[in-house]
Chain A
Amino acid sequence: MAKPVLKIEGLHVAIDGREIIRGLDLTVQGGEVHAIMGPNGTGKSTLAQALMGHPRYEVTGGSVTLDGEDILSMEVDERARAGLFLAMQYPSEVSGVKTSDFLRAAINARRGEGKEIPILQFIRKLDAAMKALEMPQEMAGRYLNEGFSGGEKKRNEILQMKMLEPRIAILDEIDSGLDIDAIRIVAEGVNSMLSEELGVLMITHYQRLLNYIRPHFVHVMMNGRIVKSGGPELAERLEAEGYDWLKEELGITFEQEDADTTVRQEA
C-alpha cells in the first residue's frame, strides 16, 4: 500500500459562527511525526476535531484530503474507516459497553462485512496490545472508559489506535494529566507503531512529550494559523523561552484566550 498522505490546504473552521482556524496548510505523510504546539486557545484541538468531523465544528473554507480523497465530504465514521484516527483529550465514558466488544465492533466496521476478524486472532491481538501498554487484562471487560482514571483513559485511546491501525493518527494532548511513567508507556505505545504506513499529527501544550515521541517536524499555531515550522530544536527553544519571543518576532497580538478550552470541555 502506498504511503498515507493527509493534505490540509487553506483550512478555515468556525464554531458557532466564530472563526477559530483561519487558513491552515499542512501535509502529513506516512513515516512522519508532526508536532503542533502553541499556547492555549490557538485552535489546536479545533484542528483535531474538525479533521475528525465533529458536528459542532464548521469548515468554512479550504480542503482536506486523505490519500487524495476529500474527507470533508465524509461522515465521521467514513473518515475513521478511511484510516483517520483521533486520540481524544477527553474521551467519552460509555456505560454498558464493554471495551473489548467495542473494539471488536470497531475493527469489524473498518474491515467490512464478511471480512470480520476471527475471534481468536482478535483476542491474541488485544492481549498483546494490552500487555504492551501495561493494562491489566480485566480492563477489556470493563465498560468503555467508565470510572477510568485520566491515565487509563489515555492508555485506552492508544490501545484503540493499536487495534485499529490507522493510516493517519491525530493525538490530542495525550500527555495531559499523565505522570512520567504513564507518559513513557503511552509514548512507547505510539513509537511501536511508527512506520511508513502511519503518519502522526501530535498536538501538545508541553515539550515534555516530545522527549518521548520524537517529531520530525514541529509547528507552532497561533490565532488559528501555523506561524512557524521547524525541527525538534524549535520545540526545545519554546520550552526554554516560552512563546513571547515568537510573538514579538512575528508581531502577533494574542486573542481568544479560552476558546479552545471551552469547546473541548463541551465536546
Chain B
Amino acid sequence: MTVTDFDVRHIHLFQAHQDNASEPTWVREKREAAFRLLDELPWPVFEKMNITDWPWFQFQPFVAGRPVANRDELPQAVQMILKTYNQQAPTVVLENGDLIWEENTAALKDQGVLLVDLKRALIDHEALVQRFLFQGITGDHDRLIALQKNDRLLALSDAFWNGGLFVYVPKGVRVAEPIQLMITAHGDGTGLLPRLIVAIEEDSELTFIEHRLSDEETTTVHNGVSEVFVGAGSRLRFVSVQAFGRKTYDHTRRYGTVGPNARLEWVFGEVGNAQGAALTVSNLVGEGGSADVKMVSIGHGSEHHHFDLRNRHAAPHTESDVLAKGILLGAARHIYHVVTKIEKGARGSNGEQTARLMMLSSEARGDANPILLIDEHDVKADHAASVGYVDESQLYYLMTRGLSRKEAERMLIFGFLEPVISEVPVESVQTYLYEAIERKFMQ
C-alpha cells in the first residue's frame, strides 16, 4: 500500500472538510501541510515488524458520530463496558471522534476542569488548546532509535484527525474520581482518527481512563494520537485499555511531557484483537520528574502487535520505570521495544525497564528488545528482558495436584501477569483486564 493508492475520493473529502469546518486557521494549515507531505514522508519504523502493507489509508474519513439522548441508546458494547466501570465517575463517549454522550461531568465544571469535545474546544478555548495541540510531539534522531519528528502515519493523523477530547485540569485541582473515556467506531471501513489532549497544570492530580473498542466484525482503521502534559509537582495516571475487534488496524501514538517533580503513570491493557503498532514516548523535561509504565498484553490467533515504549530523560534527577509483560497464544507475535535514553546533563537520573513475554504455543513468537542509551556518567540504569515458553516443570507441579493442563496454564498466566495488573490503580480496570485475558485465553 502506498499513498498513491489513496483513493482520489479522499482528496475531495479532505477538501470538502476543509471548506466546511469552522476550524482556526492554524489547524487548517496544519492539516493542509500534512496532507501535502503524505507522499514524501517516510513510514515510522517499528523494529522487526513491517507495518507498511497494512491498510492505513483504506478508510472512510470524517464520518460523524451519532449523538444519543440517553444512555440506553448507546451501542450495546459500550453500555456493557460502562456497566463494569465506576458509575459515579465523569464519563464521556466518543463515536468516530465525536462526543455523543457524557454523564457526571457537571461537578468538574465547578472545579474549572474542562472535558470538552476537541472540535468544540477549538472554538470555545482556542488559545488554551493551541498551547498543547501538536506541541507534545517530539522526534529523536539518535542513530540507534531513529524516531522522526514527523512521519507518514503521524501526518495522516495531522491531516485527517476527526474529533477527540480536550481534558484540562487547572492549577492546584485534584480530581477525585477518575475521568472515563470510551472511544468507539461506527460504520464499516470507518477511519477512527481521534486526537486527545490531557493537560494538567501544576500541583494537580488526575486519573484518566480511556477504553478503546470497535466491533469484532467491522473493518476499522484507528490512528490515534494522544498528547499528555503533566505540570510541575502534578500526578497524572493515564490508563488505556485496547479492546479493538479483530478487523481493526490500530496505530497509536502517545507523547507525554513531564514537568519538574511531576509524575506520569501510564497503564496499558492491550487485551483487544487488533493488529497494531503503538508508540509511547515520555519526555522527562523537568528536574525530578518521573514516568512509570505498566503494560500487559495478550495475543492470540494471528495477531501482530508492536509496542514501542520510550522514556527520555532530558533533565537531572529524573526517573523512569517500565514493567511490561505479555502472553502469546496461537501464532501471535508481539514485539516489546523498550528504549531508555538518558541525555547528557540528566545527572542523577535512574532508568529501569523489565520486559517479559511468555509463549504458550510453538507457533507464537515474541521479541523483547531492551535498549539503554546513556550520554551522562552520573546515572543509574538497568534492564531485564526475557522471552520464553511457559515453564513445563511448573505446569507439571500444578497438574500433580489435579489441575488440568488448561487450568494450570491459566494459573501460570495470571501468576505471571499479577504483579503488573495488581498495580493498576483502578479496581474496575483490574477486573476488566482479568476477564478480558481470561476470555482470550479460553477461546
Known contacts A92-B391, A92-B394, A96-B416; A102/B411 CB under 8 A: yes
Determine if A77 and B415 form an interchain contact, defined as CB atoms under 8 angstroms apart.
Answer: no
Mask of A247-267 contacts with B, CB within 8 angstroms, 1/0: 000000000000000000001
Contacts of A81 in B (CB 8 A): 402
Is A109 an interface position by the 8 A CB rule?
Answer: yes
Known contacts A77-B404, A110-B402; A105/B411 CB under 8 A: yes
Contacts of A92 in B (CB 8 A): 391, 393-394, 396-397
Q: Which residue on chain A has the smallest CB distance to residue B417?
A: A96
Known contacts A95-B415, A96-B419, A97-B415; A86/B394 CB under 8 A: no
Q: Which residue on chain A has the smallest CB distance to residue B413?
A: A96
Is B308 an interface position by the 8 A CB rule?
Answer: no
Mask of A39-73 contacts with B, CB within 8 angstroms, 1/0: 00000000000001111000000000000000000
Contacts of B415 in A (CB 8 A): 94-97, 143
Determine if B396 and A76 form an interchain contact, defined as CB atoms under 8 angstroms apart.
Answer: yes
What is the minimal beta-carbon distance from A84 to any residue of chain B, in angstroms? 8
Is A231 an interface position by the 8 A CB rule?
Answer: no
Determine if B397 and A77 form an interchain contact, defined as CB atoms under 8 angstroms apart.
Answer: no
Contacts of A79 in B (CB 8 A): 400
Is A33 an interface position by the 8 A CB rule?
Answer: no
Known contacts A94-B415, A97-B412, A97-B414; A106/B403 CB under 8 A: yes
- A interface residue count range (under 10 / 10 to 19 / 20 to 34 / 35 or more): 20 to 34
Mask of B385-413 contacts with A, CB within 8 angstroms, 1/0: 00000011110111111111101100110
What is the minimal beta-carbon distance from A97 to any residue of chain B, in angstroms? 4
Number of interface residues of B (CB under 8 A): 24
Known contacts A95-B416, A96-B414, A143-B415; A109/B404 CB under 8 A: yes
A77–B406 CA distance with the chains assembled, in angstroms: 11
A102–B418 CA distance with the chains assembled, in angstroms: 14
Determine if B400 and A52 form an interchain contact, defined as CB atoms under 8 angstroms apart.
Answer: yes
Q: Is the interface of B mostly helix, strand, loop or mixed?
A: helix
Determine if A94 and B414 form an interchain contact, defined as CB atoms under 8 angstroms apart.
Answer: no
What is the minimal beta-carbon distance from B396 to any residue of chain A, in angstroms? 6
B396 touches which one: A54, A96, A106, A109 (CB < 8 A)? A54
Determine if A109 and B401 form an interchain contact, defined as CB atoms under 8 angstroms apart.
Answer: yes
What is the minimal beta-carbon distance from A6 to any residue of chain B, in angstroms? 15
Contacts of A91 in B (CB 8 A): 397
Contacts of B394 in A (CB 8 A): 92, 94
Is A204 an interface position by the 8 A CB rule?
Answer: no
Determine if B392 and A55 form an interchain contact, defined as CB atoms under 8 angstroms apart.
Answer: yes
Determine if B411 and A80 form an interchain contact, defined as CB atoms under 8 angstroms apart.
Answer: no
Contacts of A97 in B (CB 8 A): 411-412, 414-415, 418
Contacts of A88 in B (CB 8 A): 397, 400
Is A223 an interface position by the 8 A CB rule?
Answer: no
What is the minimal beta-carbon distance from B386 to any residue of chain A, in angstroms? 13
Contacts of A202 in B (CB 8 A): none
Contacts of A105 in B (CB 8 A): 403, 407, 411
Count how many pairs of residues, one from A and one from B, have CB atoms less than 8 Å apart in the complex. Answer: 78
Contacts of B414 in A (CB 8 A): 96-97
A221–B400 CA distance with the chains assembled, in angstroms: 24
A77 touches which one: B393, B402, B418 (CB < 8 A)? B402
Is A28 an interface position by the 8 A CB rule?
Answer: no
Determine if A77 and B403 form an interchain contact, defined as CB atoms under 8 angstroms apart.
Answer: yes
Determine if A80 and B418 form an interchain contact, defined as CB atoms under 8 angstroms apart.
Answer: no
Mask of B141-159 contacts with A, CB within 8 angstroms, 1/0: 0000000000000000000
What is the minimal beta-carbon distance from B328 to any residue of chain A, in angstroms? 17
Q: Which residue on chain A has the smallest CB distance to residue B408?
A: A77
Contacts of A80 in B (CB 8 A): 399-402
Is A29 an interface position by the 8 A CB rule?
Answer: no
Q: Which residue on chain B has the smallest CB distance to residue A95?
A: B415
A24–B414 CA distance with the chains assembled, in angstroms: 41
What is the minimal beta-carbon distance from B442 to any residue of chain A, in angstroms? 15
| A93-148 interface (Cβ within 8 A of B) | 94-97, 101-102, 105-106, 109-110, 143
Q: Which residue on chain A has the smallest CB distance to residue B420?
A: A96
Q: Which residue on chain B has the smallest CB distance to residue A110?
A: B402
Is A75 an interface position by the 8 A CB rule?
Answer: yes
What is the minimal beta-carbon distance from B421 to any residue of chain A, in angstroms? 10
Determine if B397 and A109 form an interchain contact, defined as CB atoms under 8 angstroms apart.
Answer: no
What is the minimal beta-carbon distance from A82 to any residue of chain B, in angstroms? 9
| B367-398 interface (Cβ within 8 A of A) | 391-394, 396-398
Contacts of B404 in A (CB 8 A): 75, 77, 109
What is the minimal beta-carbon distance from A95 to any residue of chain B, in angstroms? 6
Which residues on A are within 8 Å of B, measured CB to CB?
52-55, 75-77, 79-81, 85-86, 88, 91-92, 94-97, 101-102, 105-106, 109-110, 143, 160, 164, 267
A-B pairs with lowest CB-CB distance, top 5: A96-B415, A80-B402, A97-B415, A106-B401, A92-B397
Beyond A77-B408, A101-B411: 16 further Cβ-contacts under 8 Å?
A: A52-B400, A53-B400, A54-B396, A77-B402, A77-B403, A88-B400, A92-B397, A95-B415, A95-B419, A97-B412, A105-B403, A106-B402, A106-B403, A109-B401, A164-B401, A267-B393
CB<8 Å pairs between A and B, sample of 26: A53-B400, A55-B392, A75-B404, A76-B399, A76-B400, A77-B404, A77-B408, A79-B400, A88-B397, A88-B400, A92-B397, A94-B394, A94-B397, A94-B415, A95-B415, A96-B412, A97-B411, A97-B418, A101-B411, A102-B398, A102-B401, A105-B411, A106-B398, A106-B401, A109-B407, A164-B401
